[in-house]
Chain A
Amino acid sequence: MLPDFLIRAGLAGLGLTLATGPLGSFVLWRRMAYFGDATAHASILGVALALAFGLPVGLGTLTVAVAMALTVATLSARGWAVDTTLGVLAHGALAVGLVAISFVKGVNVSLESYLFGDILAVTWGDVAAVWAGSVAVLALLVWRWQGLLTSTLDPDLARASGIDPDRERLWLTLALAVVIAVAIKLVGALLIAAMLVIPAASARALSRGPEQMAALASALGALAVVAGLALSLSQDTPAGPSIAALAAATFALAALFRHKG
């Protein structure tokens, strides 16, 4: 019989991969990997703010992730170089967040658990939050799928069909912020991007269509969660990094498979 904490960890991880497969595919298609990474780093500031004001940590990370994502999207639309904006805002927010956390008195904060996650310590409440966030994001992506895909393929093609690509990008940005907010407790701010990018990149090598790639990315993510938790349990390795490492291993296998086929 599996221990309760492991069941909670497994359910939380599998819930997360429901959203990270399709969302991570969009992150690849639109070359938003660095954007996702930067937004995740900035969410550490949200942790600090939430602790300082006695608010739920999830609310803090969600607020900061949305604010960060919208700021970067707005500045880049006005002609600022995206990587400059990201570099300044993301690492600025991360640094300020780390400093701010040291000022929060009376709270014994394990910083490491927000940077690398602590999936083995999630509560049933966390599991519920992850599933709620993931299902909401998945529903959003399914609802907007055709418009999102057309805008991603060619913004002008979308405009000619009456689709506003800027609005579609806003939906994606929002979805990314939600996923980061629920994932930070599981895999941490530094490894969220790994959960988005690596399974999708593995799936790309094996897919012929966008829907196939999104579904396969979720499946490969789920495989990494289960195998990573097993590795963590048997070898006493840190769980979040183990999951990311096994996702990377599936990428290597997929790349080999592609060259054969």
Chain B
Amino acid sequence: MLLEARGLAVTLGGTKVLTGVDFTIQEGEIVTVLGPNGSGKSTLMRALLGMIAAEGRVTRKPGLRVGYVPQKLALDASLPMTVRRFLSLPVRVADTEAQAALTRVGMEGMGARPLSGLSGGQLQRVMLARALLGDPQLLVLDEPTSGLDQPGEAAFYRLIAEVRAQTGTAVLMVSHDLHVVMAASDRVICLNHHICCEGTPRVVSAAPEYRALFGLGTQGALALYQHRHDHSHDHPGHDHHGHDHGDHGHGGHDHPVEAPGQARGGAELGATGHSDAAKGARDAS
């Protein structure tokens, strides 16, 4: 056990944002907290990391090393900052370590670039490299792909799965993004001020609480999926999809890259990938 919370409750500005949350994450596990906007996802993560005051009991493994990747960086234009310098905050690291970290996230040789000149996807990779430099046992990512397009998002989550496979770090992610959750997580927690349901992606996708939380989107997406499946010749490679997925996300979920023409954005359309993945998992089993 890396991190455990019992009866966690947070009140912000007189409003109860979280009540009665029990949470545990094990070593090497990828857990995604999923919920609509304003459901308390980020608050849960901040409470677990001790960034804000919370009631209840939070237990950390002694000496737990946490790597944190924020949703975005509020970089002020007046502050000159290269990639290399950023990697040395707050702990200075040697050049060899910094190079290795950049290589791991596919940003080798980018150390001299100013942070302000990076694209959203590059900045996320650099922030991930910085978080990995502390050799974390637990990597925490707050909606890490909110600024990325769909192929960029898929690539980023593949990278997360790779990092977990190489380093054995546990990963706690926050997302409002349905299809990503299905592809890249061992366990999903649906949150709406309290925990609505939790379990493996397959179990959660079938849970009535999950459907209630995300409304008709799932139904609509299933209809869309079946319609699309009638025309599967439009999507070469699709049939192989389920095999990757059986290996709880290790192999990544590159469907969105293979089918760039598929619908983007919006809860309903975003759910396409997820129900697809769930179907894939059913097919594989």
Residues of A within 8 A of B (CB): 28-31, 146-147, 149-150, 152-154, 156-161, 163, 201, 204, 207-210, 212-213
Compute how far the CA of A209 lies from the CA of B80 in the bound complex, rounded to whole angstroms. 5
The answer to whether A210 and B79 touch across the interface, beta carbons within 8 angstroms, is yes
Size of chain B's interface in residues, with CB distance under 8 A? Answer: 24
Does B282 make an interface contact (CB < 8 A)?
no
Mark the stretch among B89-97, B205-213, B225-233, B266-274 that contacts chain A.
B89-97
Summarize A's interface: helix, strand, loop or mixed: helix
From residue 69 to 109 of chain B, which have CB atoms closer than 8 A to chain A?
70, 73-76, 78-82, 85-86, 89-92
Q: Which 4 A-B pairs have the closest CB atoms?
A: A160-B68, A150-B90, A29-B79, A159-B51
Could you list 21 examples of A-B contacts with CB < 8 Å? A28-B78, A28-B79, A31-B76, A147-B90, A150-B89, A153-B75, A153-B79, A156-B51, A156-B68, A156-B70, A158-B90, A159-B49, A159-B51, A161-B91, A201-B78, A207-B80, A208-B82, A209-B80, A209-B82, A209-B85, A212-B80
Summarize B's interface: helix, strand, loop or mixed: loop
| Min distance, Cβ B78 to any Cβ of chain A, angstroms | 5
| Min distance, Cβ B137 to any Cβ of chain A, angstroms | 14
Does B151 make an interface contact (CB < 8 A)?
no
Beta-carbon nearest neighbor of A213 in chain B: B80
| Min distance, Cβ B134 to any Cβ of chain A, angstroms | 8
Contact of B73 among A153, A163, A201, A210 (CB under 8 A): A153
Greatest chain B CB density within 10 A among A152, A154, A163 is at A154
Beta-carbon nearest neighbor of B115 in chain A: A153
Greatest chain B CB density within 10 A among A156, A201, A204 is at A156
Compute how far the CA of A69 lies from the CA of B104 in the bound complex, rounded to whole angstroms. 45
Compute how far the CA of A153 lies from the CA of B78 in the bound complex, rounded to whole angstroms. 11
- Complex contacts, A149 vs chain B, CB 8 Å: 89-90
Given the contacts A156-B70, A159-B49, A210 and B90 also touching, CB distance less than 8 Å: no
The answer to whether A160 and B140 touch across the interface, beta carbons within 8 angstroms, is yes
- Complex contacts, B159 vs chain A, CB 8 Å: none
Compute how far the CA of A161 lies from the CA of B80 in the bound complex, rounded to whole angstroms. 22
